[in-house]
Amino acid sequence: MSAYKQFNTQDLIVSPLEVNKGFRILGNALTGSDIGIDRYLGKNGTYFSSGSNLTGKITGQKLSEVLVYDSIKHLYYSNFISGSGGFSANTATSSILLGANPTGDTSILGTPFTNYYNYIPTTLWPNRKFTTPRLPLATKTNSPELPTHVGVISIPSKLFGDYIQPNSFLIETFISGSIKDDGEGRLLWKHVTEFDNPFEITAGNIIYEHGIITLFDDFTIHTGSLYGSTSYGTGTYGGGGPIPPRLDSIIPFIDSANVTMSFSSSFKIYETQYQCTINENEFNYSLNPSIISGSQIVKKFSGSDIINENTASIGKPQDFVTSSYFSPYITTVGLYDKDYQLLAVGKLAQPLQSSPTTDTTILVNMDR
């Protein structure tokens, strides 16, 4: 009989399996070669006037402040710039008033456009409120806009895998407090002195599947504002309690070495299970060469002459192998390709005796 057996389709089962790993990184370790988490401070402006101003904490990977600001704005906030309250703006629509001929057709109700895909992780309030440039008070019409910025933390995919686990991101400083995600792609902040208070003030967004964290310091929206003793919208009514402090600056989260960041990664692997079924009439003979007699020809010396051992029994199975009660033990399973090249070897924890009366199934699991 052959020592090989072909797998059928039903012998293979492929199952997805999601695995997670938690990280907690301190200070300067963020920029280590084995970590590579970079932090940027993007600023508004034009590339021609300030494109040479670079930002970033990793030497050799610095980017233009203007390009960081514009890239984040385009990728994650383009649908929300003209919206209000952190919601996306309505898609512009138009109609065609038909004329006598195509040149007489008239477009009314604006120009249609397609909204960009901004990687929204929630169907709830997305709160994608982007920091836009502001004009100074009592300004002239030609006065320059006030500078504004956005903090960006970029976690490499080698750490977060497929995406960052929701409700796992936290960054802390001894200067500006703590920021965590709420599981819906929003970042919440609390002051460094508010140890027992909840995270209430929105401070940016997290793009789980890209490992991108955006931070802003001009958010004044209170997620837990009080109406008596109950939250009600974004206003405070009835003197129910003090308004939480406002996030003054995101710069310590970007520039300070005294930060602690933690998050959990998520990665999907695929487990392939091979069902190696041995029928009762298969693999009932051992492949171990020790069952064959005379695997080495022994020679005897008699004086100066060499006398060969009797070779009449060389190459014959040992007597115990020919017994009707003989059942070999299985210790190893090998997987081969179609050209009979060995691809993988599996060792059993203990020898398994083959059964002459029932089928035996050995499960081989491989992760990839």
Residue 88 inside a domain? The answer is: yes
Residue 328 inside a domain? The answer is: no
Output the pLDDT for position 143.
Answer: 55
Q: How far apart are CA 13 and CA 333, in angstroms?
A: 18
Residue 214 inside a domain? The answer is: yes
Residue 305 inside a domain? The answer is: no
Residue 335 inside a domain? The answer is: no
Output the pLDDT for position 101.
Answer: 78
> What is the domain extent for residue 223?
38-154+176-255
What Cα–Cα distance (Å) separates residue 52 from each residue in 49, 64, 133, 164, 354? 8, 6, 20, 32, 73
Exposed / middle / buried, residue 254 (Cβ in 10 Å: 0-12, 13-18, 19+):
buried
Output the pLDDT for position 142.
Answer: 58
Q: How far apart are CA 234 and CA 220, in angstroms?
A: 9
Number of folded domains that form the chain: 1
Global pTM value: 0.68
Output the pLDDT for position 75.
Answer: 94
Residue 123 inside a domain? The answer is: yes
Output the pLDDT for position 122.
Answer: 87
Nearest to 213 by CA among 158, 263, 161, 259: 263
Q: How far apart are CA 172 and CA 180, in angstroms?
A: 9
Nearest to 68 by CA among 169, 214, 217, 256: 214
Copy the structure tokens of residue 172.
């802390």
Phi, psi of 102 (to 5 degrees): -55, -35
Half-sphere exposure of 352 (CA within 13 A, CB side): 16
Residue 302 inside a domain? The answer is: no
The set of residues, in sequence order, having a beta carbon less than 8 Å from that of 305 and lying 6+ positions away, is none
Give, for all 368 residues of the chain, the pLDDT tens digit.
457 888 888 899 999 989 999 999 998 899 998 899 999 999 988 888 887 899 999 988 999 999 999 999 999 998 888 777 778 876 666 667 777 777 777 766 655 555 788 999 888 888 888 877 665 555 555 555 566 889 999 999 999 999 999 999 999 998 888 999 999 999 998 887 777 777 878 889 999 999 999 998 765 444 444 344 343 444 444 444 444 455 667 888 998 888 999 999 999 999 999 999 988 888 877 777 777 776 554 555 555 555 555 555 556 777 777 776 777 888 889 999 888 899 989 899 999 888 888 898 999 988 87
Residue 287 inside a domain? The answer is: no
Beta strands 177-181; 226-227: pairing state: unpaired
Contact in structure between 14 and 272 (CB atoms under 8 Å): yes
